[in-house]
Amino acid sequence: MTRAIIPAQYLFPRHFAPMPRFFIDLHDGAQPIRDEVGFDLPDLPAARAKVTRIMSAIARDMLPDVERQDYVACVRDGVGKIVYRARLSLAAEAVD
């Protein structure tokens, strides 16, 4: 009976560094919403893409009868430092 020799890389799982966690806090001008859970994302560009998708969803759901709405999203890294900020504003007015 012949025994197969299995290379070590197949026997022991690789240990990858954990993904950084980013937190996206929102503020609508009246009430801040602090993200206590966060998102595991590979890097800052991925966090920027995530906040862009969130702000796009907010823009789609803006109330049609409001003349002004402002939103700010702040992205914090794992130690709490703000690393990115996005602003979304709607100003609507009738034109004669």
State yes or no: pLDDT of 1 exceeds 60: no
- pLDDT of 4 reads 64
Number of helices (H), then strands (E), belonging to the chain: the values are: 2, 5
Does residue 48 lie in a domain region? yes
Residue-range definition of the domain harbouring residue 56: 17-91
5-23 pLDDT tens trace: 666 566 666 666 788 999 9
Residue 86's alpha-carbon distances to 12, 39, 41, 53, in angstroms, are: 43, 17, 17, 11
Q: What is the pTM of this model?
A: 0.76
22-48 pLDDT tens trace: 999 999 888 899 999 999 999 999 999
* Number of independent structural domains in the chain: 1
Does residue 85 lie in a domain region? yes
State yes or no: pLDDT of 78 exceeds 70: yes
Does residue 2 lie in a domain region? no
Which of helix, strand or coil describes residue 23? Answer: strand
- Residue closest to 76 by CA, chosen among 12, 26, 5, 18: 26
CB 39 within 8 A of CB 21: yes
